[in-house]
């Protein structure tokens, strides 16, 4: 894999990761000159603390006008082809590309008053951090499950590389890699892509995982997530696929109508810590899981999903973190969605419309 750093017209970083010739061996160089006339990115994000929940909430009012479901001809993640409109990727073709989001939720450099209305009850601070976009392929109509094994492996390496770099940024507490797919999820661009958030705080879900893991370690001396994985493998009934290094399973307390976790057999904090053998197998298992999700219902449509990579936090508590992927869908039937109504949205008390065992049985049934 060859890594080439460049900059877009407004100064944002763009990084090409090439896995094909003639670029990978340096036989040719990417021409990445952005000819657009773009104003500098101005992100006015801030964090406000909610004293009732102990959580930080991000406010990013500048995102209200971000690009929303453009026609294919105007897709900003497609290559800039001769005769076509300039895009975020100033190249006639590409393998995998990462660039800073033009409409970031998190960005460095903001200045805000330390409280809301001089009330100490509501602390606030700049929403520092970084948001990146990861274009998996130049093919607008592809799915991650359609990628070759070698391209999927490249994406794994790219996410690992970005995890290392973003974890080293001042103030970053959590690096979160994810893919949103489908308008039902809220996707604003249909081109196959993921995102990476480098949070300046520990998100609520990560905080809960950390607290639970820390308590389990204090009580048993063992890793909670490792114990969960071992228990799922012993039970077997919810295991979807397994290999030498990875197991995909539906968790015993799955919340979503389609949900599967992909976990390494070895205790590792993040993607960057994976060995070559683990990355090779992950590229296969992960594509397999996403393909099964698309076949879960009638197989005629692309199932909306979120694929989230949970990684150990940066700094305090890192020893209690363990890497795993969570893939889930809001669809509960071919023509029905799982809406988060009163119990889930207001009280956080989940009610599932199915059972984890039925989910796992169906995912095994639709193996490719």
What amino acid positions are annotated as catalytic residues? 193
The separation between the first and the last C-alpha atoms of the chain, rounded to the nearest angstrom, is 28
- Within the chain, residue ranges assigned H as helices are 149-167, 204-220, 224-235, 276-294, 347, 356-365
Decide: 170 and 111 in contact? Cβ < 8 Å: no
**Alpha-carbon gap, residue 324 to 210, rounded angstroms:** 14
Sequence-ordered list of residues with C-beta below 8 angstroms from that of 193, at least 6 positions apart, any chain: 77, 133, 134, 135, 136, 179
Decide: 75 and 133 in contact? Cβ < 8 Å: no
**Alpha-carbon gap, residue 264 to 286, rounded angstroms:** 11
Q: Is the dihedral of CA 30, 34, 40, 44 positive or negative?
A: negative
């Amino acid at each position: 894999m060859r890594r080439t750093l460049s900059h877009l017209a407004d100064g944002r970083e763009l990084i090409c990761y090439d896995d094909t010739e003639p670029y990978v061996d340096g036989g040719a160089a990417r021409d990445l000159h952005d000819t657009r006339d773009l104003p500098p990115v101005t992100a006015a994000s801030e964090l406000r603390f909610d004293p009732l929940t102990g959580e930080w909430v991000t406010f990013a009012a500048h995102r209200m006008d971000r690009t929303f479901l453009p026609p294919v001809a105007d897709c900003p993640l497609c290559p800039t082809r001769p005769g076509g409109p300039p895009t975020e990727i100033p190249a006639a073709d590409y393998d995998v590309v990462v660039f800073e989001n033009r409409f970031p939720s998190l960005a460095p450099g903001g200045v805000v008053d330390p409280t809301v209305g001089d009330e100490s009850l509501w602390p606030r601070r700049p929403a520092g951090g970084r948001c990146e976009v990861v274009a998996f392929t130049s093919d607008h109509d592809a799915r991650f499950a359609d990628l070759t094994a070698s391209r999927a492996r490249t994406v794994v390496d790219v996410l690992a590389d970005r995890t290392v770099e973003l974890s080293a940024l001042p103030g970053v507490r959590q690096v979160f890699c994810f893919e949103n797919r489908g308008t039902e999820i809220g996707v604003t661009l249909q081109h196959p892509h993921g995102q990476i958030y480098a949070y300046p705080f520990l998100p609520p879900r990560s905080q809960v995982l950390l607290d639970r893991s820390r308590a389990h370690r204090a009580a048993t001396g063992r890793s909670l997530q490792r114990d969960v994985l071992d228990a799922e493998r012993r039970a077997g009934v919810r295991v979807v696929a397994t290999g030498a290094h990875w197991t995909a399973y539906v968790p015993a307390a799955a919340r979503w109508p389609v949900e599967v976790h992909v976990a390494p057999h070895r205790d590792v904090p993040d993607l960057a810590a994976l060995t070559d053998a683990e990355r090779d197998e992950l590229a296969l298992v992960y594509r397999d899981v996403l393909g099964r999700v698309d076949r879960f219902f009638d197989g005629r449509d692309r199932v909306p999903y979120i694929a989230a990579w949970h990684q150990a936090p940066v700094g305090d508590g890192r020893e209690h973190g363990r890497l795993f992927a969570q893939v889930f869908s809001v669809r509960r039937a071919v023509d029905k969605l799982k809406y988060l109504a009163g119990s889930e949205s207001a009280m956080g008390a989940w009610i599932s419309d199915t059972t984890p065992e039925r989910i796992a049985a169906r995912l095994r049934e639709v193996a490719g």
